Amino acid sequence: MLGKKLLSLAMALTALAVNAAETTTVEKLPVRRVVLYKNGVGYFEHTGRVHGSQELKIDFTSAQLNDVLKSLTVLDLNGGKISGVGYNSVAPIAEQLKSLRLPLGESTTLAGFLNALRGTRVDVRSGGAITSGRLLSVEEKITHRGPEETGKVLELSLVTAAGEVRTFPLTSTLAVRVADHDLNEEISKYLSLVGSARDQDMRQMDISTSGAGDRNIFVSYISEVPVWKSTYRILLPTKADDPPLLQGWAIVDNTVGEDWKDVELSLVAGAPQSFIQELSKPYYTRRPVIELPETAMLTPQTHEGTMEEQGDVVEANAPAPPPPPPAATPAPGAAGGAIGGMFKAQTSPRPLNIAILKEEKEKAAASLEAAATGQELGDLFQYDLKEKVTILKNHSALVPIINSRIKAEKVTLWSGGEGHPLRALWITNSSGLTLDGGTFNIIEENAFAGEGLIDPLKPEERRLLSYAVDQAVRIEHKDKLESRPITHVKIAKGVMTQSSEQRDHQSYLIRNTDAQARDVVIEHPVRSGWKLPDDLKPEETSASFYRFRIKAEPNKTTEFKVDEVQLLERRIALSNVTDDQVRIWFNDKTIKPELEQALRKIIQQKNQISGIDQQMQGKQSQINSINQDQQRLRENMKALKGSAEEKTLLQRYTRELNDQEDKLQSTRTELEKLTAERSEGQRQLDQMLQELSLDESI
């Protein structure tokens, strides 16, 4: 019986121990997946298993914590609960120092420290003597060390119990001891707070879970991280028929608070919108010291505007460029590898053959397999690494993401200016993947040939990549502008359109001093309003340039001409044409005699209408004058009431008013007649303008 009780007690104690272990066990939740973006943020996923009620922890830096707080997602995937999430919040050092009696900031000097102790009882030991008193001040004094040499020294002053003021220079032999025990503790607290500020960069987040049995926990968040970078190598083959090999690498930096061990890594060529808000920083509101309310205001953030990118614009009637060499399928090989493997010295008992070595290097490079696959994500593009990676904290890695043959042609590029033309590759991204922007290196004939920059490139997009100066080609540009007179006249619906043109004759003298021919690409500026001749078609047209390909023969000078035409139009309303303009056009032979006669009839009709307008203005002036005179007479008649001359003058004024009324009626009749004549004349002019039509070249 006693044995059973002891057994039951042991089992109960074991269960309590297990429950206690389940409750108090704290394990670190490792990161399992990382997605890095081009806007300086990364997406992180942590997964792990818990048993019972258990606490998990994740380490961060203080810089990460703000992003974590505004994006944290925590899920118990098997029916348990997330009972709490906490982290070590650290108040700003300035706020913590306010709790001390010492008026000291985070940074102070010896003079500042001693001045903060003013009024404190101290013991000063100078040599073998000790002087006690209260600290009065610390001042900077100027001392004279010689006739022309001065210096500065700090002097400490204290007041003794006897009321004497004693002054001591602060030298290395002077010792000051604070006699106040409580103040010594404050000094110790101050030094501890200042020292702890260095440890505030690390934060630990604790996640409390509750439930029964084994369960899976999922945690995700975004965090500020360094921008991942792209860099490429283009290996030009020794055989002309072989396409070049493009290798792409990603440079990844781990600067977060923990190691990445066996994580799934993805790299996104894109920048989703993201911002910073300091959620982890404790904010303090200030209580008002006056009756008006006052609160602490946060500085508002502004958002940058979106940049719009414009792609190449190709004319519809431009001929298709000649097809480049077909792409070869890369040979299968082991995953991973490094660009350095292309240049490892071959160890073999047989003599070193340079040609065989170059061929073996090309085969080895082609056999490398990219460690990532790509997929479109709307406007973004994501590289998913095939194998899990390990990047320790504060370490970086170079990860291969692309290894593919591409279509490319070697050309010489000239974009204007006085400098040398450039060697360039006219590539087509036939890798099937989006190329992120970055740097590239060209390897040719087993040596470095140049480097440059590449902008983001979509699949099957074509781009020129310049990488070196072409010392063998010289290009001279000449420009001659020619203005031509009016070449075409068109008249329709009362408007004359005169067309003229400007011709721009440009030539490019290309001198190739090399023993081999060059494919030279001339970038000729696209100008608004200027048109190329129909028989001159560029191989490609971008937003800013026509691109012409010219074959430059070895040791010869080739001339390439571009004649452009700008059409100029001048629109003139025929109703505004004057005799002087018609005379000038006729003398310059801009118009023919038939058109001159038609225009003179229009001008004659305009002059008739103008004469009628002058007559109408005269009649209207007469009417206005009569109306004003009648108003004067009526005012005079009102003023005569009750006067001796009223009867005589009223009769006179009445006769004048009657005469003016007759004249006013006659003038109005004449004005109505003129108005009708003007309307008919305007109708005839409008008909003449509408019926006059012309469309001829001069």
Instruction: Outline where 42-103 has alpha helix (H).
Output: 62-71, 93-97
- Please give the structure tokens belonging to residue 396: 């970086």
Total residues found in the chain within this entry:
698
Please name the residue that has the structure tokens 């008649």. 637
DSSP state of 437: S
**How much is the pLDDT for 520?**
94
Phi then psi for residue 248, to 5 deg, are -115, 140
- Please give the structure tokens belonging to residue 545: 């340039």
**pLDDT tens-place string over residues 125-151:** 888 888 899 988 888 888 776 667 777
**How much is the pLDDT for 551?**
94
678 CB contacts (<8 Å, ≥6 apart)? 609, 612, 613, 616
74 CB contacts (<8 Å, ≥6 apart)? 82, 85, 207, 217, 218, 219
What does pLDDT average to over the chain?
78
Amino acid symbol at 533: P
Q: Is the CATH number 2.30.30.520 carried by domain 93-199? A: yes
Q: Mean pLDDT, to the nearest integer, of 410-415?
A: 92
Classified as helix, coil or strand, 621 is: helix
User: Can 24-90+200-224 and 93-199 be said to share one CATH topology?
Assistant: no
Q: Does the pLDDT value for residue 559 go beyond 90?
A: yes
Least confident of 177-191, 467-481, 512-526, 631-645: 631-645
**How much is the pLDDT for 572?**
86
Closest CA to 90 of 331, 356, 281: 281
**pLDDT tens-place string over residues 606-627:** 888 888 889 999 989 988 888 8
Architecture of domain 24-90+200-224: Sandwich (2.60)
- Please give the structure tokens belonging to residue 440: 């590239």
Amino acid symbol at 299: T
**CB 435 within 8 Å of CB 456:** yes
- Please give the structure tokens belonging to residue 42: 């990364």
**How much is the pLDDT for 348?**
42
Q: At what angle do helices 579-587 and 593-639 cross, to 10 degrees?
A: 170
Selected residue with higher pLDDT from 182 and 344 = 182
**pLDDT tens-place string over residues 660-694:** 888 888 888 888 999 998 899 889 888 888 888 88
Least confident of 12-16, 129-133, 405-409: 12-16
Specify burial of residue 402 (Cβ count, 10 A radius: 0-12, 13-18, 19+).
buried
Distance CA 118, CA 111 (A): 11
N- to C-terminal Cα distance for the chain?
131
Least confident of 122-126, 637-641, 654-658: 637-641
Domain residue ranges of the chain, discontinuous segments joined by +: 24-90+200-224, 93-199, 229-256+322-379+391-457, 473-572, 579-697
**pLDDT tens-place string over residues 330-388:** 333 333 333 333 333 334 444 545 555 556 655 655 555 666 777 776 667 888 888 88
Q: What percent of the chain has pLDDT over 90?
A: 19
Measuring CA to CA, how many Å separate 172 from each of 128, 154, 169, 464? Answer: 14, 11, 10, 70
**Sorting pLDDT into bands at 50, 70 and 90, what band is 548?**
very high
Q: Does the pLDDT value for residue 507 go beyond 50?
A: yes
**How much is the pLDDT for 512?**
93
Q: In what order do the strands lie in the sheet with 462-469?
A: 462-469, 422-428, 407-414, 518-525, 545-552, 540-541
Give exposure, 679-696, as e/b (b: 16+ Cβ within 10 Å): eebeeebeebbeebeeee
Least confident of 192-201, 304-313, 382-391, 617-626: 304-313
**CB 633 within 8 Å of CB 625:** no
DSSP state of 336: B
**How much is the pLDDT for 661?**
84
Least confident of 135-149, 180-194, 298-312, 314-328: 298-312
Q: Does the pLDDT value for residue 310 go beyond 50?
A: no
**pLDDT tens-place string over residues 148-167:** 777 788 888 888 888 888 88
Question: What's the CA angle centered on 652, arms 650 and 658, to 5 degrees?
Answer: 100
